[in-house]
Amino acid sequence: MNRLARLYWIVRGVGWENVPRRAWHIAKGRLGLDSRRRLVRRLAAGCLAEQFVADYRPEDALTHWRGRAERFFVGPRQMAGLRTALAQVADAELWQRHVGEQVALLPQGKMRFFNHAVSDTGWPVDFNRDPLSGISWPTGLSWRSYRQFDPKYADLKCVWEASRFSVAWALARDYVRDASSPGERLFWQLLSDWDRQNPFGRTAQWVCGQEATFRLMAWLFAACAFLDAPDAQAARYHRLTELACLTGLLVEDNIPYARSQKNNHAVSEAMCLWTLGLLFPELRRAEAWRAKGRRILVADLRRQIYPDGSYVQHSMNYHRVMLDDALWAVRLGALAGDPLPEVHEPLLRAVEWLTAMIDPKTGRAPNYGANDGALVLPLACCDFTDYRPVAQAANYLLKGSRLFPAGPWDEEMLWLCGPEPLAARVQGGGRPAHFSAPVGGYYTTSGPRSWAFTRVHAYRDRPHQADMLHVDLWYDGVNVLADGGSFHYYAQPPWQHFFESTAAHNTVEIDGRDQMDRGPSFLWFHWTQAKLLAFETSADGRASFLAGEHYGYLRLSGRLVHRRSIARILDAYVIIDDILGAGSHDVALRWRLHPAGWQEQQGAWHARAGDQAIALRVIAPPAFATRHHGGQAEPQPEGWQSRYYAEREAVPTLVTRGWAEAPLRLVTVVGPAEAGIECAAAGDAAGAPLAITGIADRALAAEIERLSSRKIAAR
C-alpha cells in the first residue's frame, strides 16, 4: 500500500471531523503547550488551593461530602433501606462468593483482575507493577512518556487494572450490607497507598482520562458509602476532593483527544466532567465542567448510538460500558434536578438492541467485538459475562419497568434507584424471537430452544475485528458456536493479532488473509463492506432465512465475494457458504465449538448442549478435509477462545480447508441430532438454490423452499 492510501485509511479511522482535534493534540505535545504539563509544574509550587472557591476550608470537607451524598446514589440517608434490600437480591452464600471473597483477598495481596481471575498485587498494593507479566512500570516520568504499545512493558491495561479500583465497589457494598465489614478501613489504606505512589502526571495512571474517570467513580461510591463510619475523617475526605479536582483537570485537558477516538472514551470523560460539575460546587471549575460535560455527553451519545440502537464500536461489552456511563449520568442528573431528556430516546434504542442480544437462560451475550474486561458498574452478584444487571437497571430508569423477574441482577438497579424498583412490574417479554438492526447490521433468529446471531454490515465507523458474517449459535443457554474473544490488546507473537483476525471467528478465511488489511495500533485498512440480501421469517415462526455477502476479498485475485445463507428449520440450521469469483484459492471454514467432548461419527461431530444431543456436519468439495483443533499454538494459533480479558483457553475448533477453484460452496448442518436435516448442496454451483431434504413436515419443507429459493440467487 502506498503512503497516500495508507494516510487515507488512517484519517478515515480517526474520522475526518476529528483530524483537527488529533492534529492539535499532537501539536500541543510537541510544542510543550499542553495544560497538563503546565499544571504539573504549578502543582509542584503548591497551587492546588487555587482550584477551590474562596470560602472553602479543608476542615469542612465532611460537611461538603454529606451534602454530596444527598445528591448521590448511596449515603447515610439511604443506608437502612439498602441494607434491607441487599439481603433480598442476594443470599449470604452468593454474596460471599462475589463480594465477601474480594474483601477477604485484598489484605492477602490478591485482587480480581478484569472482573474474573485473581492476581497477586501485594499488600500494600504495588499499583505500578503489572502482576500478569511481573513488569514494573517506571514512575516519575512525564505522562507523555508512557505508551500503550511498548514492547518493554507489555500491556498497559494490565498496570491500569488495579488503579481502576474495581475492588472499592466490593468494599463499599460489603460495608453497606454489614457495618462490621473491614471495607472502610481497607479502602482508605488502598487510597492512601495509591496516592503516595502516583503523584499527579508522573506515572502511567495519569495517562488516560477514561481510566481516571472509572477510578473517580469507584472513589465516589465508596467514600459516600463510608460517610456514616464512626471514624470518618475530614482530612481523608479533603484529600479525596483534591484528587477529584485533579481528575477533572486531567479529563478537561484530555477530552478533545478522547472525542477524536469516536468511541466510549468521550462518553466516559464527558460523564466525569458532568459528575464533578453536579457534585463538587466547592471547585472553581464546577459550573464550566457541568456545562461542557453535558454538551459533549449529549452530542456523543446521540452520535455514537445508531438509529437502530446498535453502537459505534461494534462490541457487546463496549455497548455495556456506554450504557453504564449513561445510566450514571442520567441518574445523577435526575437526583440533582438537572435531567438529561435529550439522551433518553437513543438510550431506549440501545437498551432494546442489547435486550435482543441477551441469552434468556444465562444473561450472556455473544462475545462479539472488542472486549477489554471493563465493567464500569460492578454492582451485582453476577458473572462478568451476564448482561442482565445493566439491561434491568437501564430499562427501569428509562421505562419504569423491569425486563427480568427478580434475581441477583436487580442489584445494580437497586444501587442506582433505591429499593422501590424491586417491586416494579416485569414488562417487555425479554428478547424478541427475530430481530434486525439494519444500520449496525445485526440479525438474530430463534427456534423453540435455540437462537443464532450474525452480522452483515458495511462499516462506516472504525472496525476492531475482521469478523463479518460470523455466526454465534445458542442451544438452551449453551453457546454451541462461539466467538473467539479478544485476549490482550497488546501481546507477543503469535497472539498479538490472532483474536481479532478472521481466523478467530466462525466465518470463511481465504488465502490465509483477513477480510481487511491490518494498520497501526487498533486500525484496519480496506474496511469490509457487506450487503443483506434477504431476511425473512415464516408466519408461524417455524422457519427463517437470511442471506448476506461481504466484499472484503474483492482485493484478492479473482475478485472473490463471500456469500453466507442461513436457513433455520425449527432448531436446525443449514449454513451455506458460497465463494463467488474465479481462480484457485485456499479456503478455510471454521467453527469454534463449546467444550463438550465432541466426537466424530460417520462424518458428523456430536456433543451435548445441556440435555440436547447436537450434531454438526460440514459438506464440502472433494479437495477439502475437516480437522479438529484445540489449543494449537504453532505454526499458528488454532482452537482458542478468550471469554475474559488476559485469559485464553483451548476449545474444540473444526477447520474445513482445501484448495479449489472458485466458485465453490460449503454447507454446514447443525442442530438436534435427531432432526435428520440434510443438504446435498456441496456439488451444486455456488449461488444455486438450496436442496434441503429430511424435513418430515411437508408444509414446513415447502415454506423453507419458498423462503430460500426466491432469494438466494439475488446479488
Of the candidates 564, 548, 560, 462, the one whose C-alpha atom is nearest the C-alpha of residue 515 is: 560
Q: What percent of the chain has pLDDT over 70?
A: 92
**CB 544: neighbour CB atoms within 10 A?**
26
**Looking at residue 682, what is its pLDDT?**
47
- How much is the pTM? 0.94
Of the candidates 530, 562, 547, the one whose C-alpha atom is nearest the C-alpha of residue 463 is: 530
Please, is 7 exposed, middle or buried when counting C-beta atoms within 10 Å of its C-beta (0-12, 13-18, 19+)?
Answer: exposed
Contact 289, 252 (CB under 8 A): yes
**Looking at residue 519, what is its pLDDT?**
87
Of the candidates 240, 295, 313, 300, the one whose C-alpha atom is nearest the C-alpha of residue 64 is: 240
**Looking at residue 425, what is its pLDDT?**
95
pLDDT band at 22 (very low <50, low <70, confident <90, very high): low
**Looking at residue 707, what is its pLDDT?**
79
Rounded CA-CA distance 343/246 in Å is: 28
Rounded CA-CA distance 243/250 in Å is: 10
Rounded CA-CA distance 74/99 in Å is: 17
Which distant-in-sequence residues (6+ apart) come within 8 Å of 366 by Cβ?
Answer: 316, 357, 453, 472, 479, 482, 483
Of the candidates 82, 77, 332, the one whose C-alpha atom is nearest the C-alpha of residue 228 is: 77
- Percentages (nearest 5) of helix, strand, coil residues in the chain: 40, 20, 40
Please write the tens of the pLDDT for every residue from 75-102: 999 999 999 999 999 999 999 999 999 9
Half-sphere exposure of 135 (CA within 13 A, CB side): 14
Please write the tens of the pLDDT for every residue from 200-255: 989 999 999 999 999 999 999 999 999 999 889 999 999 999 999 999 999 998 99
pLDDT higher for 439 or 633? 439
Q: What percent of the chain has pLDDT over 90?
A: 79
Q: What is the pLDDT of the chain when averaged over all its residues?
A: 92
**CB 145: neighbour CB atoms within 10 A?**
12
pLDDT band at 141 (very low <50, low <70, confident <90, very high): confident
Of the candidates 329, 284, 322, 282, the one whose C-alpha atom is nearest the C-alpha of residue 303 is: 322
**Cα dist from 589 to 437, 467, 553, 672, whole Å:** 26, 13, 15, 21
**Looking at residue 148, what is its pLDDT?**
72
Which distant-in-sequence residues (6+ apart) come within 8 Å of 72 by Cβ?
Answer: 220, 224, 279, 332, 335
Contact 701, 695 (CB under 8 A): yes
Q: Is the pLDDT of residue 151 over 90?
A: no
Which distant-in-sequence residues (6+ apart) come within 8 Å of 336 by Cβ?
Answer: 71, 278, 279
Q: Examine residue 124 and say whether the peptide bond preceding it is cis (omega within 30 degrees of 0).
A: yes
Q: Examine residue 378 and say whether the peptide bond preceding it is cis (omega within 30 degrees of 0).
A: no
pLDDT higher for 31 or 104? 104
**Looking at residue 18, what is its pLDDT?**
67
Q: Count helices and strands (H / E) in the chain.
A: 19, 27
**Looking at residue 19, what is its pLDDT?**
66
Helices (H), 32-78: 35-44, 61-69
**Considering only the top CATH level, what class is 434-709?**
mainly beta
- Domains in the chain: boundaries: 1-33, 434-709
DSSP assignment string, 178-224: -TTSTHHHHHHHHHHHHHHH--TTSSGGGS-HHHHHHHHHHHHHHHH
Beta strands in 593-689 (DSSP E): 599-601, 604-609, 612-619, 625-629, 640-641, 649-650, 653-672, 678-679
Rounded CA-CA distance 573/591 in Å is: 13
The three cell numbers locating residue 601: 461419527
Dihedrals φ, ψ of 349, to 5°? -60, -40
- Look-up of cell digits 507479566: 133
Question: Quick one: which H or E segment has residue 506?
Answer: none
Choice among 83-87, 144-148, 475-479, 534-538 with the minimum mean pLDDT: 144-148
pLDDT higher for 692 or 326? 326
- Look-up of cell digits 471493563: 374
Region 180-189: what's the mean pLDDT? 97
Q: Is the pLDDT of residue 28 over 70?
A: no
What is the rounded radius of gyration, in angstroms, for the C-alpha atoms of the chain? Answer: 26
Which distant-in-sequence residues (6+ apart) come within 8 Å of 67 by Cβ?
Answer: none
DSSP assignment string, 330-365: HHHHHHTT---GGGHHHHHHHHHHHHHHS-TTT---
Give me the amino acid identity at 711.
K
Rounded CA-CA distance 286/410 in Å is: 33
**Looking at residue 664, what is its pLDDT?**
95
Beta strands in 36-173 (DSSP E): 110-113, 117-120, 129-130, 135-136, 149-150, 154-155
Which distant-in-sequence residues (6+ apart) come within 8 Å of 337 by Cβ?
Answer: none
Residues in the chain: 715
Please write the tens of the pLDDT for every residue from 448-458: 999 999 999 99
Q: Is the pLDDT of residue 374 over 60?
A: yes
Rounded CA-CA distance 568/235 in Å is: 64
Rounded CA-CA distance 390/377 in Å is: 8
Of the candidates 584, 423, 616, 405, the one whose C-alpha atom is nearest the C-alpha of residue 506 is: 616
Tell me which range, 2-11, 384-393, 492-501, 700-709, is most confidently predicted by mean pLDDT.
Answer: 384-393
Compute the C-alpha angle 283/289/290, nearest 5°.
105
Of the candidates 636, 370, 398, the one whose C-alpha atom is nearest the C-alpha of residue 503 is: 636
Please write the tens of the pLDDT for every residue from 31-54: 665 666 666 666 655 678 889 999
Question: Quick one: which H or E segment has residue 257?
Answer: helix 234-260
Contact 695, 569 (CB under 8 A): yes
**Looking at residue 683, what is its pLDDT?**
45
Half-sphere exposure of 298 (CA within 13 A, CB side): 12
Pairing state of beta strands 561-569 and 543-550? Answer: antiparallel
pLDDT band at 714 (very low <50, low <70, confident <90, very high): very low
| Residue 513 DSSP class | B
DSSP assignment string, 567-583: EEETTEEEEEEEEEEEE
Region 337-364: what's the mean pLDDT? 97
